[in-house]
Structure 1
Amino acid sequence: MSSKEEQIEQFDPNGVGRQGSLFGLPFTPETAEVVIIPVPWDVTVSYAAGTAGGPMGVLEASPQIDYFLPDIAEAWKIGIAMEDISTSWAERGAMLRDKVEPYIEALEAGADTAELAKEHAAMLNEVELASEQLRDWLAHQSGKYLDAGKVVGVLGGDHSTPLGLMSALAVRHQEFGILQIDAHADLREAYEGFRYSHASIMTNALELPQVQRLVQVGVRDYCEAEHGKVVNSGGRIVSFHDQALKEEQFAGATWHDQCARIIEALPDKVYVSFDIDGLDPKLCPHTGTPVAGGFELEEALYLIKQVVKSGRKIIGFDLCEVGPGQDEWDGNVGARALYRLACWAGSPS
């Protein structure tokens, strides 16, 4: 196996993007500083399935990007690589999704929740067991790279997928904060009967005592119970809702100043959880649960850049809910978001 230095020496960053590796880069998980673990899983999605195909959609679109970033000198040399997409998890997820869909359809049609849960108890237990095994698998996979000094990111899949990485980080850090860019609060309790629902990821993350604070940005679709959880969190959850941010901007506030206020709420170590539906849905029309409003891509990436510029350290990240759709648009946007996020996470600056 060639060394990282040899891979850099033999690579032309101005050449034609080559299919087969993430961004067409020459690195492997062994030589890269930033390792992406793809998780093709969307078993509990409650609106539109398809985000299990997100990792493949991003991978296929990713060689079309150019590498130069004005903020990070020779950013591509940081080294970014992705593990192979797990066919076993993809197949297991697809099998379980087929079992889940009739249950969710019945819920949405108004079936009695308690009776439906009894009828589908075996399925609910099977999904919970599989979700726990996925969490543990990801914690093990990411732990190997973390212990080797690498930065690890998850490419989902739905937003339930990064829990294992968060758990692995909790073993290795006494405390850290989560910066969540998202259209949804994801603070539901076992949504639709699924403890590890995509809509419950932050409830599950907050069960880790090492998560000092959750800072949510761009949320614009949430229920009263989720609002109550924020209000009653004693400051552990801080939400900068899309409506409030926009209204401040209408009154003259700048995004730069708002970013400073958001970052002030974060501790020194930060995990970035980027649900792509935090963006305006024109940029991600096939995401699982699109919501009108949201950020331009540069707005979200500016916030991430300012986190690093503030002196805080990104210790891990995820990009979730990319739905590939019928063309490469969602994968194209997802690839650009992932590249910039990975570069800032791996940047020494």
Structure 2
Amino acid sequence: MSQSAASSLEKKLASFDPNALGDSAGGLYGLPFTVDEAQVVVVPVPWEVTVSYRGGTAQGPEAIREASLQVDLYEPDIPEAWRMGLAMEDEDEKVAEESRNLRTLAADYIGWLEAGQPADKAQNFATVPAQVTERGKVLLDYLKQKTGAYLDAGKGVVLLGGDHSTPLGYMHALAERHQEFGILQIDAHCDLRPAYEGFQYSHASIMYNALQLPQVKKLVQVGIRDLCQQEAELVEHSGGAW
């Protein structure tokens, strides 16, 4: 951080009132920090291409930003935690637009699957899985680069989706910088399905994809209430390693 930026940050720390009403002109929680000034950066990912029940998860990051203004900053265990700086990037509208376009395509394809794959419509959907998978890989690479740059700058990173598929690029960035790490997943579902509904980067495949990284040594799942036979067999054959 430059001297002028450090001076600007000191002024913000001195003038900010953590007891005041959340400032809607500020960032997450109404905090005044820029991404450059923050020690922790939140990366919003408005992506929900492969959701198989209801849409709306792409609006999650913005909804959380708005709701954060109603949350008090005081944390008894770390009373001045806000001073470390927390900032949320602006959403990338290109990501949001591509999600909207691909979501329509994927939803129609899923509807075709649920209808029993009528032969007269098969040609309409022949390329959809490959197209969605290709763009999912592009998103993975984009987020790997983005989150990796923040990690290399010494910042903490939070990735906020969107559907469950979104963290994979961040996991790849971590894998390039750590010999090993574990994942704590709090979820109703295992998300251990390979290429669910034909989509390699499906929301239902995020943990299966994460486990393909050799640096991921353990996966701890909490709150699981629903899984398929294939997932159950995968867990059983893990020998408790996951």
TM-score range, shorter chain: over 0.9
After TM superposition, the score normalised by the length of structure 1 is 0.65
Distance across 2 between alignment mates of 1:82 and 1:24: 11
1:137 is aligned, of 114, 134, 142, to: 142
In structure 1, the partner of 2:63 is 57
Q: Is the 8 A contact 1:103 1:116 kept in 2?
A: no
Aligned-pair identity (%): 56
In structure 2, the partner of 1:92 is 98
In structure 2, the partner of 1:224 is 229
After TM superposition, the score normalised by the length of structure 2 is 0.93
In structure 1, the partner of 2:131 is 126
Q: Which has the higher contact order (CA 8 A, sep 6+)?
A: 1
Amino acid at match of 2:69: P
Distance across 2 between alignment mates of 1:134 and 1:6: 37
Amino acid at match of 1:166: M
1:152-173 deviation per Cα after TM superposition (whole angstroms, max 9, x unaligned): 0101000000100000000000
Offset of 1:235 from its aligned partner?
2.6
1:22 aligns with 2:28: yes
Distance across 2 between alignment mates of 1:214 and 1:161: 17
Q: Is the 8 A contact 2:109 2:128 kept in 1?
A: no
Amino acid at match of 1:96: L
2:76 is aligned, of 50, 62, 70, to: 70
1:64-85 deviation per Cα after TM superposition (whole angstroms, max 9, x unaligned): 1110011212121121111110
Distance across 2 between alignment mates of 1:117 and 1:52: 28
Distance across 2 between alignment mates of 1:19 and 1:162: 27
- Which is higher, the Rg of structure 1 or of structure 2? 2
Offset of 1:116 from its aligned partner?
7.0
Distance across 1 between alignment mates of 2:106 and 2:73: 41
Q: 1:116 to 1:181 in 2, by over 3 A?
A: farther
Equivalences, count: 236
Find the residue that maps to 2:61 and give its secondary structure.
Answer: helix
Q: 1:117 to 1:200 in 2, by over 3 A?
A: farther
**Superposed counterparts of 1:118-197, under 5 Å:** 119-197=124-202
Structure 1, unaligned runs of 5 or more: 238-349
What RMSD in Å do the two structures reach over aligned CA positions? 1.6
